[in-house]
Structure formats: C-alpha cells, structure tokens
C-alpha cells in the first residue's frame, strides 16, 4: 500500500474547479482498471493531491506515469503539474 502525493509546479493550482477534479477522478479510475490498483482514498486539494493506493502488481511508477500523462492537455492540471514524478510516494 502506498501514499502518493503530488503538487503543482511552484505550488501552483492544479485544480481550478469541479470539472478539473471530475476529469482527474475519471482518469484515475481508468488507471485503476489498467493497473488493477485499488484506490483506498484520495484527497484533491487546490494545488496538490494525495492518493492511498494498493498495487497487487509492482506497477506504481508505470501507473503514475500513465495517469499523469493521460490528463487532457487543455486542463489546468496538465499545464501546472510539476515535472518531477512521484516525489511523495511512500510504502505503508
């Protein structure tokens, strides 16, 4: 089980409104199906997010790359995302 946290570049907002959050959650759902992740909880803040994910396969990094690379390019999230990947992943 992992706690994953990521924030916007220079702590910029990554979610402007409910639509941004809905798109992210939809994409997170797709990532869960592709990777067989079980998402136990999430918290979407204005400039960052937290996920608690259980990964039956050793695919956290590959799944996060897919998730973060699959955000629509016209969303605030895609333009504000910090370039560093997985700065806050910790195994529980």
Determine the distance from the C-alpha atom of residue 92 to the mean position of all C-alpha atoms in its chain, rounded to a whole number: 18
67 phi and psi angles, rounded to 5 deg: -60, -55
Positive/negative CA dihedral, 79, 67, 72, 46: negative
Average the pLDDT over 8-25 and give the result.
90
Q: What is the pLDDT of residue 67?
A: 92
pTM over 0.75: yes
On average, the pLDDT of the chain sits at: 84
The domain limits of the chain are 2-91
- The strand pairing partners of 3, in sequence order, are 52, 90
Q: List Cα–Cα distances, 9 to 26, 29, 36, 74, in angstroms.
A: 22, 24, 29, 16
Average the pLDDT over 11-17 and give the result.
89
16: three-class secondary structure by DSSP: coil
Q: What is the pLDDT of residue 85?
A: 43
Q: Mind listing the pLDDT tens digit for each residue in 22-50?
A: 999 999 999 999 999 999 999 999 999 99
- Of the candidate CATH numbers 3.40.1280.10, 3.30.565.10, 3.30.2350.10, 3.30.70.1290, the domain formed by 2-91 belongs to 3.30.70.1290
């Amino acid at each position: 089980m992992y706690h994953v946290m990521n924030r916007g570049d220079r702590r910029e907002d990554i979610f402007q409104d409910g639509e941004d959050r809905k798109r992210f959650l939809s994409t997170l759902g797709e990532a869960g199906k592709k990777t067989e992740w079980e998402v136990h909880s999430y918290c979407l803040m204005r400039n960052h997010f937290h996920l608690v994910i259980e990964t039956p396969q050793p695919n956290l990094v590959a799944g996060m790359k897919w998730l973060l690379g699959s955000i629509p390019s016209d969303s605030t999230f895609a333009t504000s995302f910090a370039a560093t990947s997985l700065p806050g992943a910790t195994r529980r």
